[in-house]
Amino acid sequence: MWKDFFYFSKRERQGILILIALIAGVFIGKFLFAPKEKPSDISGISGDTTFVKEPYRMQYADNQTSNPLNKQDRRDGLSKQRPKPEEKRTYYQQPEKTVEPPRKNNYPQKEKFPEGTIIELNAGDTAQLMKIPGIGISFARRIISYKKLLGGYYRLQQLQEVYGMYEELYDKITPYLRVDTGLIQPIPVNSVSLDRLKSHPYFNFYQAKAIIDIRKKKGKIDSINELAMLEEFSEEDIEKIRHYLSFQ
């Protein structure tokens, strides 16, 4: 074999030697740099005392001669210290549930009229209307506002035209009211402006303009009959507006 080795060329012999050196180096390095195995037991500080690692803490476990507590006693002590699985830990103080008392109405109760009391609708104000059972401040203001637009009520049925009025409330409040048509403020037909006339709830733009056109042609309107002849007014319209017009 060694004889055959010398039959190789010089370059081949060098390559074989290098390969052998590399293989030898791998084996030597494996033994020199291999990690040492750690001992399974942890040596204690001294004597028979050793460290025993338990969940959440490290404590000493002494032998039977140095520790008067036996294994059962230590188990009982640990079981008392550890929380039971079914117990729940709370790390904050839960707020106590409190029930707030109902708020008191600080508004004084409005004095109401007794049964049999009657007030005049066209002369009454908001304060008087609020004393009628069933009427609050909202409806009292609406009734007065509509009275101002009309110039006054000529019958109680006109209250049904007030915004939001319903049948039960109408039947409840009418026994306390009456109407004096002499308190209505009439509209002067022969001098009123177009804007003022069409702002009345019972006149539309075309009816107001027809009155102004007749007045321009004739100079003066003498009676409601002249308006009844116009196509802009129906019999129902004439019946409603006759209470609000003055032809002087």
The C-alpha atoms of residue 129 and residue 112 are separated, in whole angstroms, by 9
Provide the pLDDT for residue 16.
Answer: 82
Nearest 5 degrees, angle CA 36-CA 37-CA 40?
150
- Predicted TM-score (pTM) above 0.75: no
Q: How many CB atoms lie within 10 A of CB 227?
A: 21
Rounded to an integer, the average pLDDT of 8-23 is: 79
The domain spans of the chain are 2-27, 115-185, 186-248
Distance CA 159, CA 166 (A): 10
115-185 and 186-248 have identical folds: yes
Q: What is the pLDDT of residue 211?
A: 96
Is 13's pLDDT higher than 90?
no
Asked if pLDDT for residue 45 goes beyond 70, the answer is: no
Residue tagged 């010089």 (tokens): 10
Please identify which residue in the block is written with the tokens 């740099």: 33
β-strand partners of 245: 187
Alpha carbons 220 and 129: distance in angstroms, whole number: 40
Tell me the C-alpha to C-alpha distance, in Å, between residue 218 and each of 122, 213, 214, 215, 221.
34, 9, 6, 5, 7
State the chain's mean pLDDT as an integer.
79
Q: Which residues of 138-155 are buried (b: 16+ CB within 10 A; e: fewer)?
A: ebbebbbebbeebbbbbe
Which residue has better confidence, 207 or 3?
207
For residues 184 and 22, the model is more confident at 184
Per-residue pLDDT at 22? 83
Q: How many whole angstroms separate alpha carbon 89 and alpha carbon 82?
A: 12
Quick one: pLDDT band at residue 204, thresholds 50, 70, 90? very high
Helix extents (H) in 55-204: 71-81, 126-129, 137-150, 167-173, 194-198
Query: What is 115-185's CATH topology?
Result: DNA polymerase; domain 1 (1.10.150)
Reported as type and span, the H/E element at residue 54 is: strand 50-54
**CATH of the domain spanning 186-248:** 1.10.150
